[in-house]
Amino acid sequence: GENVEQHPSTLSVQEGDSAVIKCTYSDSASNYFPWYKQELGKGPQLIIDIRSNVGEKKDQRIAVTLNKTAKHFSLHITETQPEDSAVYFCSRSGGSNYKLTFGKGTLLTVNP
């Protein structure tokens, strides 16, 4: 199916540490994997995405990796800052439908 499993559901780190959020998917036709950040009271905001023809993508302190064989992808945040505290969602789309399916989210707390 189109389900996406996301772990962990909560993550607490010290400022300056790294944070990793992992997602797995089941639909082998999935070919687009965006990540969203949602701050309290706001809508989700796209922070980085990766397509199935790429194994890794980096944007400053944020990176995403994709393992198509294992059907999992991960978000890596280095040198975390308090403003990184938010809920992060992984998602996927692809195949014969146009639906973007989301994981259930990870609440990241960066402690100063």
Partner 1 sequence: NAGVTQTPKFQVLKTGQSMTLQCAQDMNHEYMSWYRQDPGMGLRLIHYSVGAGITDQGEVPNGYNVSRSTTEDFPLRLLSAAPSQTSVYFCASSYSTGDGYTFGSGTRLTVV
Binding residues (CB under 8 A) for partner 1: these are 6, 31-32, 34, 36, 42-46, 49, 51, 89, 93-94, 98-105
Closest distance to partner 1 from the beta carbon of 15 (Å):
27
Q: Which is nearer to partner 1, 77 or 103 (CB)?
A: 103
Q: Which is nearer to partner 1, 4 or 19 (CB)?
A: 4
| 90, 82 Cβ separation under 8 angstroms | no
Closest distance to partner 1 from the beta carbon of 32 (Å):
5
C-alpha separations of 6 from 66, 77, 81 in Å? 14, 16, 22
Closest distance to partner 1 from the beta carbon of 46 (Å):
4
53 by Cβ neighbours in 10 Å (0-12 / 13-18 / 19+) ranks as exposed
69: tokens are 């064989």
